């Protein structure tokens, strides 16, 4: 049995029944990493020492009959989520030697649930990008085709899960950064409702949009991880005091009678025909499962990209002001005075995409332009959120493509930032509205590249999103399709 092919729930059950040891389970994945990492480049840091320590702890728990939800399950963590004493770089030169003095809430909860960390995954620098080409260290490659991008910014996490280098992973999503790479890599990615999962210990990009979530091999695993990482956290002022349900409890309830909304604005010109056809086929499957399909309108969708790139860059400009070379992070060694040290530390430490977004955000917030840009952006955001609120008065979920095309070639869009930004055209509105969204595989292109289906739900109704996704997954076999990899 190839243990690395197993899902979280399959692996967990084998460990609980003592049919495999934690050591054997984890080492199956670390050997897989050893065989594939030089080609895929999914990881910034491999945590050999910590992995061994966590294996020993999990094995003792098994020996003592203490079983937690993730005992002995190997996971990877995106490199913008703080892990105490383990390097956390955000794939940026400015944090290339940063070792956090504290643990994030999500990784604390994973530890309490018995997980084993195998490494920190590569990403677009400070989560700014849609292709993981903006990392200061490596370009992660898509396991389905090593000449293509894995999506971004959580590309390392998605590639690691798709290549069976970990059982599951955590990513972060500011404008689609969990869902879009999940679509590109043929795995499941869930962005929870804003406030459902604590952001304490997540290095901030845009604080009103950022959300941590799971990237998994199937829908049940996403529900299991949400049970662990979700819930109120007093350390995070944006964490919602909303009861956390058992997300696995209603997975198998089916979708008969569920009203599925299809937004007419999302099925327009510019979508790859193979993506369009695959999503339409998925909608047909949902109809066959008893769902009622109705058309809805999200009329302000056309303003989502512009709104997002005003608000996200403005917040990034503010959040990234702390990296000045003084208290921590990269400091230029060649400077004449304090001001020169600030300038050189930031210009040498940040990459071009981060600089571009800081400049855009600083401009939008500058005197004389605040009302014209940032204030207008907030007003447009309110209208986009209202569109979803109105739609959810008549439907239970909304179904759309996740991305307009399958994964594109590495280097194809790096010289055209506007084209790159359009990769997130179907995901950005979800962050602006704060609602939950899940991507899952629904087809393969002629070139055998995964195509993603996006399912959206009401605020704090991840249960219905997961239930619909699970029903579709059980009725199809797209989640069983795997990239062909040696090793």
Name the burial class of residue 379, with classes exposed (0-12), middle (13-18) and buried (19+) by CB atoms within 10 angstroms of its CB: exposed
- Cα 221 from chain centre: 14
Q: Is 239 a catalytic residue?
A: no
* Bridging pattern class, strands 211-216 and 188-191: antiparallel
The residues near 228 (Cβ < 8 Å, ≥ 6 apart) are 69, 70, 109, 110, 113
How many other C-beta atoms can be found within 10 angstroms of the C-beta atom of residue 321?
11
Q: Of these residues, 91, 92, 153, 317, which one is catalytic? A: 153
CA distance 269 to 341: 49
- Active site (annotated) includes residue 111: no
H/E segment holding residue 153: none
The residue from 78, 111, 217, 344 that is catalytic is: 78
Catalytic hit among 104, 154, 177, 345: 177
Nearest CA to 93 among 138, 48, 155?
138
Q: CB-based contacts of 330: which residues, under 8 Å, 6+ apart?
A: 93, 94, 95, 96, 97, 323, 345, 348, 349
**What is the DSSP secondary structure assignment for residue 126, as one 8-state letter?**
G
481 in catalytic set: no
**Residue-wise DSSP of 209-226:** T-EEEEEESSHHHHHHHH
Catalytic residues: 78, 153, 177
């Amino acid at each position: 049995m190839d243990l690395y092919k197993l899902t979280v729930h399959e692996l967990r059950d084998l460990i609980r029944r003592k049919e495999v040891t934690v050591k054997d389970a984890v080492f199956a994945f670390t050997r897989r990493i050893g065989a594939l990492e030089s080609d895929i480049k999914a990881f910034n840091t491999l945590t050999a020492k910590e992995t061994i320590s966590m294996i020993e702890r999990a094995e003792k728990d098994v020996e003592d009959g203490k079983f937690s939800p993730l005992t002995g399950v190997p996971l990877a963590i995106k490199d913008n989520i703080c892990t105490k004493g383990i390097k956390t770089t955000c794939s940026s030169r400015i944090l290339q030697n940063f070792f956090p003095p504290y643990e994030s809430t999500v990784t604390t909860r994973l530890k309490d649930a018995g997980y084993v960390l195998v490494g920190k995954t590569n990403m677009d620098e400070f989560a700014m990008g849609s292709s993981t080409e903006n990392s200061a260290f490596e370009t992660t490659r898509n396991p389905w085709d090593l000449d293509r991008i894995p999506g971004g910014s959580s590309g390392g996490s998605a590639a690691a899960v798709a290549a069976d280098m970990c059982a599951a992973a955590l990513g972060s999503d500011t404008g689609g950064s969990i869902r879009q790479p999940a679509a590109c890599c043929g795995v499941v990615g869930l962005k929870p409702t804003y406030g459902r999962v604590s952001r304490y210990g997540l290095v901030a990009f845009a604080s009103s949009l950022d959300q941590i979530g799971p990237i998994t091999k199937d829908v049940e695993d996403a529900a299991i991880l949400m049970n662990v990482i979700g819930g109120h956290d007093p350390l995070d002022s944006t964490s919602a005091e909303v009861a956390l349900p058992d997300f696995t409890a209603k997975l198998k309830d089916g979708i008969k009678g569920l009203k599925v909304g299809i937004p007419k604005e999302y099925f327009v010109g510019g979508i790859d025909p193979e993506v369009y056809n695959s999503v339409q086929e998925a909608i047909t499957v949902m109809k066959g499962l008893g769902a009622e399909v109705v058309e809805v309108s999200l009329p302000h969708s056309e303003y989502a990209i512009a709104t997002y790139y005003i608000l996200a860059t403005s917040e990034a400009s503010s959040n990234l002001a702390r990296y000045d070379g003084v208290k921590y992070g990269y400091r230029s060694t060649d400077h004449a005075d304090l001001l020169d040290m600030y300038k050189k530390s930031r210009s040498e430490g940040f990459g071009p995409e981060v600089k571009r977004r800081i400049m855009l955000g600083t401009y939008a917030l500058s005197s004389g332009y605040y009302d014209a840009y940032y204030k207008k952006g907030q007003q447009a955001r309110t209208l986009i959120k209202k569109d979803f609120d109105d739609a959810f008065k008549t439907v239970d979920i909304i179904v759309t493509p996740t991305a307009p095309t399958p994964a594109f070639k590495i280097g194809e869009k790096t010289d055209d930032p506007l084209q790159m930004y359009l990769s997130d055209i179907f995901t950005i509105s979800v962050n602006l509205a704060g609602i939950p969204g899940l991507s899952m595989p629904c087809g393969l292109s002629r070139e055998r590249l995964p195509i993603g289906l996006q399912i959206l739900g009401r605020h704090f109704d991840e249960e219905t999103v997961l239930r619909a996704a699970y029903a579709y997954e059980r009725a199809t076999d797209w989640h069983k399709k795997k990239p062909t990899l040696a090793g």
